[in-house]
Amino acid sequence: MADILVTEKINSYYGKSHILFDVSFAVHEGETLCLMGRNGAGKSTTFKTLVMDIVPKRGKVYFKEKDITGMKPYKVARLGLGLVPEDRKIFGPLTVKENLILGTAMGKGRKGIWNLDLVFEFFPVLKDFQSRPGGTLSGGEQQMLTIARTLMGNPLVLLLDEPTEGLSPVMVKTLKDLVLKLKEVKTTILLSEQNIKFAMAVSDRVAIIDKGYIRYESDIETFKKDDAIKKQYLAV
Ligand SMILES: Nc1ncnc2c1ncn2[C@@H]1O[C@H](COP(=O)(O)OP(=O)(O)OP(=O)(O)O)[C@@H](O)[C@H]1O
Ligand SMILES: [Mg+2]
């Protein structure tokens, strides 16, 4: 499968703090790759660098073979990198439906399968609550809304930064079913997780980041059997 999103030895900083060290990985078209790592490992920093909210000091990011390093974040979004950030930013006063319609703007007319009808089919709860202000939804429902809004822009790669964080077990199950359905329609997904069980249920491959370094990369079946790696780099 072709590589759709590639990082080549990226080094990212907050001011003088060096956070990512020569981080390299590739997301293949159609796969679900999970970036795993403990709190503070550098997962969100990696995602912010992918969408150029942080420009790496050294290294490159390629999207569909185009060098997007240093590009404006809104342009990156328009090219088709759809980030669902860790801190779920919905527009509280706007209704659920209005939030979703705002998501289409990111697509810039890009053709894709996502529209209101399909979103409501995948997320029945959003259909039921379409006229409610987004801010009145529960945390889990808001998480669904942020994902759905990003899908409305028909991204070519969906970036989910720790989507299970703070969700109840029931919502985690709903999210798992959702990601499995997205895989059925061949969505390319990069997610970050600390929830090993969830990651193993939805991912095709895993990469582990620790203190800003990629320490491990494998297919999911190998990872499932590798208890030593889980102990070394993840909270188990
Ligand atoms: N705005 C910031 N300014 C300075 N340092 C930061 C900033 N944001 C994050 N860091 C530091 O960068 C490192 C990586 O943080 P990052 O948020 O990428 O980790 P993470 O893997 O997403 O963790 P978590 O699972 O807690 O979300 C941490 O040491 C963190 O303290
Ligand atoms: Mg994070």
By DSSP bridging, strand 157-161 and strand 188-193 are parallel
Mind listing the pLDDT tens digit for each residue in 183-229? 998 899 999 999 999 999 999 999 999 999 999 999 999 999 999 99
Tokens representing 134 are: 């987004």
Distance 208 CA to ligand 1 centre (A): 15
Mind listing the pLDDT tens digit for each residue in 48-73? 999 999 999 999 999 999 999 999 99
Mean of pLDDT over the chain: 94
Tokens representing 113 are: 């399968």
Which residue minimizes the CA distance to atom 29 of ligand 1?
40
Ligand in closest contact with the CA of 36: 1
* Rg of the chain on CA atoms, in Å: 17
The answer to whether the CB of 19 is under 6 A from ligand 1 is yes
Give the pLDDT confidence score for residue 44 in this predicted structure.
98
Ligand in closest contact with the CA of 40: 1
Q: What is the 3-state secondary structure (H, E, C) of the chain?
A: CCEEEEEEEEECEECCEECCCCEEEEEECCCEEEEECCCCCCHHHHHHHHCCCCCCCEEEEEECCEECCCCCHHHHHHHCEEEECCCCCCCCCCEHHHHHHHHHHHHCCCCCCCCHHHHHHHCHHHHHCCCCEHHHCCHHHHHHHHHHHHHHCCCCEEEEECCCCCCCHHHHHHHHHHHHHHHHCCCEEEEEECCHHHHHHHCCEEEEEECCEEEEEEEHHHHHHCHHHHHHHCCC
Give the pLDDT confidence score for residue 47 in this predicted structure.
98
Which residue minimizes the CA distance to atom 31 of ligand 1?
40
132 has a pLDDT exceeding 90: yes
The answer to whether the CB of 43 is under 6 A from ligand 1 is yes
Tokens representing 177 are: 């079913």
The answer to whether the CB of 93 is under 6 A from ligand 1 is no
Question: Percent of the chain scored above 90 by pLDDT?
Answer: 84
106 has a pLDDT exceeding 80: no
C-alpha to C-alpha distance for 216 and 231, rounded to whole angstroms: 13
Cβ 229 vs Cβ 55: under 8 Å? no
Give the pLDDT confidence score for residue 185 in this predicted structure.
87
Confidence class for position 27, pLDDT limits 50, 70, 90: very high
Give the pLDDT confidence score for residue 218 in this predicted structure.
97
Q: In the CATH scheme, what architecture does the domain 1-79+192-236 have?
A: 3-Layer(aba) Sandwich (3.40)
Ligand 1: which of 36, 43, 51, 84 to mutate, judged by most atoms within 8 Å of the beta carbon?
43
Q: How many CA atoms lie within 13 A of 148 on its CB side?
A: 30
Distance 49 CA to ligand 1 centre (A): 12
Give the pLDDT confidence score for residue 22 in this predicted structure.
98
Confidence class for position 133, pLDDT limits 50, 70, 90: very high
Give the pLDDT confidence score for residue 90 in this predicted structure.
85
Distance 162 CA to ligand 1 centre (A): 13
Give the pLDDT confidence score for residue 113 in this predicted structure.
87
The answer to whether the CB of 56 is under 6 A from ligand 1 is no
Cβ 81 vs Cβ 157: under 8 Å? yes
The answer to whether the CB of 135 is under 6 A from ligand 1 is no
Distance 41 CA to ligand 2 centre (A): 8
Mind listing the pLDDT tens digit for each residue in 153-172? 999 999 999 999 988 898 89
C-alpha to C-alpha distance for 24 and 217, rounded to whole angstroms: 11
C-alpha to C-alpha distance for 109 and 212, rounded to whole angstroms: 36
Q: What residues have their beta carbon closer than 5 A to ion ligand 2?
A: 43-44, 86
109 has a pLDDT exceeding 80: no
236 has a pLDDT exceeding 70: no
C-alpha to C-alpha distance for 11 and 148, rounded to whole angstroms: 31
Nearest 10 degrees: Cα torsion 41, 44, 49, 52: -160
Number of the ligand 1 atom closest to the C-alpha atom of 194: 25
Confidence class for position 91, pLDDT limits 50, 70, 90: confident
152 has a pLDDT exceeding 90: yes
